[in-house]
Amino acid sequence: MTHIEQRTHQLREFASELGFQVCGFSKARRLIEEESRLESWLRDGMHGEMSYMERNFDKRLDPTLLVPGARSVVSVMCSYNQPELFRQTAARDDVPRISNYALGEDYHVVLKDKLYALFSYAEELAGATINGRVFTDSAPVLDKAWARLGGLGWIGKNSNLLNKRYGSLFFIGEMITDLEFVYDQPVADHCGSCTRCIDACPTGAIYEPYKVDGSRCISYFTIELRKEIPEEYHAAIGQWMYGCDICQDVCPWNRKAAPGTEERLRADPEITMKETHFWEELNLNEYRRLFKGKAGKRAKFEGIKRNVRIAAKNLGQ
């Protein structure tokens, strides 16, 4: 085994010890194949009011602009799947729903803690200071594209990364570094002829296989959009008060996805499957307490209350 092969094996093993289900390696380079796709998506306004997507266009495509001298992108996944609980939440059509990923501790913090530990171990393996940075949905990095190249899964028809063992119920993080590794190969697409995610999307955001209009997604409306949600989409939002899991709930790969093991990502019972009146009566102080350290704070208090009003109307409450 060469030195680089040994380093790759050891880092992958340590990633597993940290609680990452999969760790993959890809060569840092400009993502030429993603350039025209991202350009047309932005040109067609499918990012809605997410103006941050327009910034740092070149950095999104080229990790060497984020980390000068970068040779590798190390991609990791961390599952948040709680099969029994998530089956229960999907079965409750009488209460406002929060997307499952937002029910536990803020994944940005959880994954960053693990990624910093992974980075420190990479320095130990190198025996010297290395140049690099870690990210998890917090910088201009096309994380799903790098995860695909690193063999973590394939891009599904709903544009989520899918893995045969873990479905799509996981978070992605990456370490960009000047260390070299043995690089993995992308895996095959296993969506086949299935169109369940497309058929189930109530707003038509998945307008054709592998293409999503972000400006029509329920997650966009309930999280990113700061102004009032257009009335023509109110009925389609249904019971969702933060995010949306519909395309994941119907995905066959998620029905048999292995459970996650990270305790910090487990759903908080204080915000899980609460009745409509609980959210209608929520005040600012209680909101701050409940959502402290959670991803759900991104919608802000005013956004949560706006979303609850729409969900309550749809639930006839």
Residues with active-site annotation:
137
Task: Say if CB 150 and CB 184 are below 8 A apart.
Answer: yes
Q: How far apart are CA 182 and CA 206, in angstroms?
A: 35
Task: Dump strand ranges (E) for 8-71.
Answer: 22-27
Coil vs helix vs strand at 150: coil
Beta-carbon contacts of 183 under 8 Å, excluding residues fewer than 6 positions away, are 25, 26, 27, 72, 150
Structure tokens at 40: 């047309």
The total number of residues shown for the chain amounts to: 317
Q: How far apart are CA 200 and CA 194, in angstroms?
A: 12
Burial of 120 from C-beta contacts in 10 A (0-12 / 13-18 / 19+): exposed
Phi, psi at 49, each rounded to 5°: -95, 15
Neighbour count for residue 180 (Cβ, 10 Å): 15
Burial of 122 from C-beta contacts in 10 A (0-12 / 13-18 / 19+): buried
DSSP string covering 63-101: GGGTSTT--EEEEEEEE---HHHHHHHHH--SS-EE-GG
Task: Say if CB 75 and CB 147 are below 8 A apart.
Answer: yes
Closest C-alpha to 38, from 142, 146, 172: 142
Determine the Cα angle at 293 with ends 288 and 299, to 5°.
60
